[in-house]
Structure 1
Amino acid sequence: MSLTPPELPQDAAYTPYWCEENVYLLIQLFSQNSSLSEIWEVFAVFISNYSETVALWNQKLSKEPGQPVIWDYHVVAVLRPRNFSSNLHSWVYDFDTKLDLPVTWDTYFARTFLNNVPDEFQSLFRVVSANVYLDRFASDRSHMLAAIPPGTLPNLNYLQPVPPYPPLRGPQCMTTHNLMHFVSMLSSHGHGDVYDMKGISGFFCLREDPELPL
């Protein structure tokens, strides 16, 4: 049995370096499709660690072939079949990967993460359900403001060009900025559940012989 994932919507927004917003808007599009929601569970997955230095391979911004990109955090969308079994795939939507879009979770996992990296570059994962992410996430984009030199006036000098739409804020969010609560890998912070490499593979891949990182 196979289950074909939805294609990336043609009107999906993408702004480089704003992965949390790209994924928010993609999940918003998916949530508007009732037939999709009947078949798939949709999640936002934050990838980071306690030092906010994670190594991801096969990223478009890699400076050299075969070399990882070191992110402070990264965010992807994952669709998991509601009637999940060992012969069905979860699918990853990562706007910044060199792999397919979407790509199966086991392929993405095997080609994006390595087991034998130093602890400071090893990934942890915060998994947040679509409805919680859409309702509870907010960002005023202050995390992307450039540092202001002493003695200068405050300004809105962003490290990267900002998206062409207003900052995002979920309808049930009581603050204008809680991004770092999602980025945090402390289980007591934020929403959703935190997994290590073994735990996240089990959550999204129930195959009897899952493909492991190289």
Structure 2
Amino acid sequence: MSLTPPELPQDAAYTPYWCEENVYLLIQSFLRNTSLSEIWEVFAVFISNHSKTVALWNQKLSKEPGQPVIWDYHVVAVLRPRKFSSNLHSWVYDLDTRLDLPVTWNSKLERSYSSFQSCQHRNNSLFRVVSANVYLDRFASDRSHMLARTPPGTLPNPNYLQPAPPYPPLRGPQCMSTHNLMNFVSMLSFNDYGDVFDIKGISGFFA
């Protein structure tokens, strides 16, 4: 038995540097397809660490081929088959990758972390896995984390560090806050936004 992963929706929204919103809208699109939800479990996966310096290979924004990008965090969508067998795969949808879209979890792990063990410890990644419904219901961002900082004594600068998406900021229907992005980015295990894994644990969850 094999399962073909769904293609990226033709109308999938993409704004560079806004991975958490790209994934939010992608997951929203996936969950509108009830037949997809019957076959696949859908997750948002936040990749970060306690120092907010994670190394990812094969990213579009890498300055040189073969070199990693160092992010404070990154977010991807992952589809895991509801019925597992040895020849079924989980699939990763990373709109910022140079790899296939989607790509199997095992391939993504190998090729995004090909030099993982040679990195300094501060660049080792942790993974927060959030179920699709929790993410859609409880995530909110007012985009304040992307506002340009101004020197003391100057007038506030309302400009974003990178061009903002053309739609209004996102806020889940069950979210009381207007901005809780950093609760998802945090790799402290004791909060209500999914589960945190190291590289070994995440391999077991999706492999």
Q: TM-score, normalised by structure 1?
A: 0.94
Q: For residues 120 and 91 of structure 2, what CA distance do their matches in structure 1 show?
A: 27
Q: Secondary structure at the match of 1:59?
A: coil
Counterpart check, 1:143 vs 2:141: no
Backbone CA RMSD of aligned residues: 0.7
Contact 2:41 2:80 in 1 (8 A): yes
Q: For residues 36 and 142 of structure 2, what CA distance do their matches in structure 1 show?
A: 30
Q: For residues 64 and 190 of structure 1, what CA distance do their matches in structure 2 show?
A: 38
Structure 1 ranges of 4+ moved more than 3 A: none
Cα shift readout 1:110-164 (whole Å, capped 9, x = no counterpart): 0001233211000000000000000000000000011111111223111000000
Q: Which amino acid aligns with 2:67?
A: Q
Contact 1:141 1:167 in 2 (8 A): yes
In structure 1, runs of 5+ residues without a counterpart are 206-214
Map 1:1-214 to 2 at 5 A: 1-113=1-113, 114-205=116-207
- 1:190 Cα deviation from its structure 2 partner: 4.5
Q: For residues 182 and 150 of structure 1, what CA distance do their matches in structure 2 show?
A: 30
Aligned-residue identity in percent: 81
Contact 1:3 1:88 in 2 (8 A): yes
Q: For residues 91 and 62 of structure 1, what CA distance do their matches in structure 2 show?
A: 22
Contact 2:27 2:77 in 1 (8 A): yes
In structure 2, runs of 5+ residues without a counterpart are none
Single out whichever of 183-192 and 66-75 deviates more from structure 2: 183-192
Contact 2:127 2:198 in 1 (8 A): yes
Cα shift readout 1:2-59 (whole Å, capped 9, x = no counterpart): 1000000000000000000000000000010000000000000000000000000000
Contact 2:53 2:70 in 1 (8 A): yes
Q: TM-score, normalised by structure 2?
A: 0.97
Cα shift readout 1:55-89 (whole Å, capped 9, x = no counterpart): 00000111111100000000000000000222100
Contact 1:182 1:190 in 2 (8 A): no
Between the two proteins, the alignment pairs up a number of residues equal to 205
